[in-house]
Each structure stands twice: as structure tokens, then as C-alpha cells.
Structure 1
Amino acid sequence: MTTRTTLFAVALPFALFSASALADWSTTVTGVSDYTFNGVSQTQNDPAIQGSLDYSFADSGMYAGMWASNVDFGDDTNIEWDAYFGRYAQLTEAVSLDYGIAYYSYHGQSNSSDGNYFEAYTKFGYVSEFGQTELNFWYSWDYFGTGAGHVISMLAHTIELAPNHALRASFDVSNSLDGDKFAWDTDGKSYNHYRLAYQTSLAGFDIEVAGENTSLDIDTADERIVLSIGRTFSL
């Protein structure tokens, strides 16, 4: 989840708190043409329906929530269900900090839970006249239940093209710290992910069209266009 489409998205669910911190309870429903996690499809290049339920403590900046999506790993695992807890802080007028911990869980067959794992994250934001810059990190000590340490590092920048129209460019590196336990391919322990996204909203719906690619040589991580349409409701 964390940066799954992101996150926003989703890579990453976490990002919505900066926009809806005034709401105690909120829920977001999103449809995506492909659920990608750092450029790797989690649905065999097929669409996904995703939803979250979130609670924010406006005075402290703390938040908690759950997020779910359909997945397809080529077996009977069909649901990813995540939980997270963190804190968003505005350190200065220009600098923000978002940090916390997430738990990823998988469901559908008896051994789906073998892939469950925790992940800690820290995200820095900087707003200037040139847009918003992000420096984000995710760390797991048991990546997908393999016992491998794993780090994701991301640099992103968003510029406003016009009111209600933005362009976000990002680059991230996924790196296994224990190649003997988990490796992304036979050529190495890490890979690069590139993404360029156009973002807007219409009639209460958040819309994103993104082009992305990775350095992996597999069908589920090659170049693609991903469409995302979501809506957030305050409860």
C-alpha cells in the first residue's frame, strides 16, 4: 500500500491525511486500471477496486486506518488488507514530516498469510514557489515474509500547471538488503521505478493518469499507462 499507487499511492492511503486532516473519519473508494506497487503490477496487469477507512486526530496530527484491494499473484491469494498508524507534522511553513508503521496482510488461500509483513516509513515534504518536493523512505525487516530486509527510497516533485491541474514526477529505488533471501531478479537485488502523473479533480472525484516503467525485465513491470479515479467522503 504505502506507495502502492500510492500510495498516493498508494502509494500509497497515507498521503490523503495532508488533504483531509480536518476530518475525524473519512473513507476513500478508488478504481484503478492496474494496481501497481512501485511499478510492479499486483493484479497481473488487470484493474482493481480499492478502499480505505481512516481516522485522524486533528490536534496531534496522528492518524490510523485500513486499506484493501483485490490482488492476483497467480495463485488463490485475492485480497490485500493493510493497517497503518502514523503522525503527520507541519514542522515549518514549508517543511512537513509524515512517519509511521504499516502492516500488510494477504488473504485467499491457507498460506497467503505467509507473505504478511510490517513496514516503517518516513516522508519529508518541502513546499516552495517551484512546487512540492518529497523525500520518502520505507523499510521492512521481513519483506513479504521472507526474512529479508528491504528499503524503498523515493524522490518526487509536484508542480501546479494551472488551478486544479498538477504534474508529479517520481523516481524510486527498491533494494533488498538480503539477496540470499529475496531478490528482484537474477541480475541483482534492486531495481528502479520511474513515474510521471497528471492529477486533477472533477465533480468531487480525484483523477490521475500516470505513465510508468521499471528497470525489471518482466511483463508485470514494463511500461504502462495507469488510470485512477477515486472519491473521498467525510463521515
Structure 2
Amino acid sequence: MKNALLGLVISSSLATLSIAANKAHAVEGLSANVGLTSNYLWRGVTQTDDGAAISGGIDYANESGFYAGTWASNVDFGDDASYELDFYFGFGGDLGDSGFGYDVGYIYYAYPDSAETDGSNEYDFGEIYGSLSYDVFSVTANYGVNNDDGAEWADSALYISADAAFEIAEGLELAFHVGNYTFDDDYDDGDYTDYGVSLSKNGFTFALSDTDMDNDDVKFTISYAIDIDL
């Protein structure tokens, strides 16, 4: 689940993947993605107890700017939850000829088997989000809403992040990330900041991630992901 208090963070991966997709008919705007990671990180915190993860999703994007999709991954929080299932939709585009871009939407994080043994151990939650980008820079804000009882920490939680990505050689991208997660007054001790830097090429990503939480070490992750037009 997504929670610094329960264990969560910034996604990256490990492995080689080979997929062949042949379709007699393509569906305009529909695509799929598959990824492998040495450690599923979300906002700097592991979601798999520092273990590997495999993930996949399906997305639909319309030329109007509307998009929707779903994404799943295995997780390990030391309880019944074995996988995460996300649903999201939003709208994005350009702000006239200003060079700025925007994206607004909603995402719901579900853990369908989290309460298999204990009916009170449900911690699904949602977020509304918005981002503004210009050239290689972007700033994003996520705000926690409609959480289950087991995810009270997510209610009104605010995550603000800034990212920059530069092409330093043909097909080679260098990216920087910093984010700050703040919770309401009942969870003040959980506030933290995470940092990351990564190199990506041909679907592979090599990343370093860290947080300012006590006893948290720098994490190195390797990932591979592909997109498939359907």
C-alpha cells in the first residue's frame, strides 16, 4: 500500500523481457505496458520489501486529451496484500502557445486481498492530482481523498514533486526528481522528502533513490519496461 507508515514508492526494475504482439486490427488510442523492476519504489519507499516486482497495465488516450487506464503490480507489506490494482483517468494538453502543458486527474489505489484474514485491514485510497510542465521541467501535486479506514494517513495527505528530464545523448535520458510528502496533524512524524536520479535508454532505467527518513539507505534499482500498441 502507498504509505510511508506502512511501507511504500519510486518505481524501478530488473530483468530482460521479450514480448511479441501481433494484432490483426489495432484499436486507436489503446496501448499496454509491461515492466520488471528490482525493487518497486513509490515516492522513495519500497512496496515489495526490497524485492523484485512485475507490473502491467492498459491505457486509453483520446486526441481530445482525455485518458484512462489501469495498472497492477505485486506488493509485499508483510500482511495479506499480494498485489496492487490502480485505476485512473484524467485530461491533459497544452496551454495555448505558451509552451506550458497541464494534466489533471484522479487515481485510485486498491489492494483487493489486503483484508483476507482481517476484515479491518482495508487500506484502499484515492488521490486527485494536477501537474504543470514546461520544456524538460514539471511540477505535480497529489492530494489524498476517499480513503478506507486502514488508510487514514492518506486523508488530506499532500505530495508535491518536481522533475526534470534531459536527453544527454541520442536516446539516453538523465532525469532528476525531488518530492515532499506531508500528512495531517495526526501523522506529523511521517512527513518526509524523497530524491532520485536516473538514466534511461531503450526501455531500461538505472536509478538511485533516497529519503530523509531515519535509517533509510540509498536504493539502487534496475528496470525494464515496454509499451505495446493494441
Question: If the length of structure 2 is used for normalisation, what is the TM-score?
Answer: 0.82
SS at match of 2:39: coil
Consecutive unaligned residues of structure 1, counting only runs of 5 or more, are 8-21
> What does 1:15-164 correspond to in 2, within 5 Å?
23-58=28-63, 60-93=64-97, 94-108=99-113, 109-110=115-116, 111=119, 114-127=122-135, 132-142=136-146, 145-146=151-152, 148-164=155-171
Distance in 2 separating the partners of 1:112 and 1:79:
18
Distance in 2 separating the partners of 1:61 and 1:74:
39
Distance in 1 separating the partners of 2:32 and 2:191:
34
Distance in 2 separating the partners of 1:32 and 1:71:
12
1:160 CA drift (Å): 1.2
**Aligned 8 A contact 2:10 2:209 in 1:** no
1:113 CA drift (Å): 6.6
1:228 CA drift (Å): 1.1
SS at match of 1:226: strand
Distance in 1 separating the partners of 2:73 and 2:134:
30
Consecutive unaligned residues of structure 2, counting only runs of 5 or more, are 3-7, 13-26
**Aligned 8 A contact 1:193 1:214 in 2:** yes
Structure 1 vs Structure 2: percent identity of aligned residues? 28
What's the RMSD between the two structures over aligned residues? 2.4
SS at match of 1:146: helix
State how many pairs are aligned.
Answer: 204
Distance in 1 separating the partners of 2:229 and 2:121:
32
1:86-145 alpha-carbon deviations (Å, 9 max, x no partner): 011112452110110011100224248721111001111101xxxx00111100035562
Q: For CA contacts below 8 A with separation 6 or more, give which structure has more relative contact order.
A: 2
**Aligned 8 A contact 2:128 2:143 in 1:** yes
Distance in 1 separating the partners of 2:156 and 2:163:
23
Distance in 1 separating the partners of 2:107 and 2:220:
27
Distance in 2 separating the partners of 1:119 and 1:82:
11
1:19-58 alpha-carbon deviations (Å, 9 max, x no partner): xxx9510000000110011110000000000101111112
1:194 maps to what in 2?
195
Distance in 2 separating the partners of 1:49 and 1:121:
25
Letter in 1 for 2:48: T
Q: Does 1:216 align with 2:213?
A: yes
Query: Which protein has the larger Cα radius of gyration, Structure 1 or Structure 2?
Result: 2
1:217 CA drift (Å): 2.1
SS at match of 1:145: helix
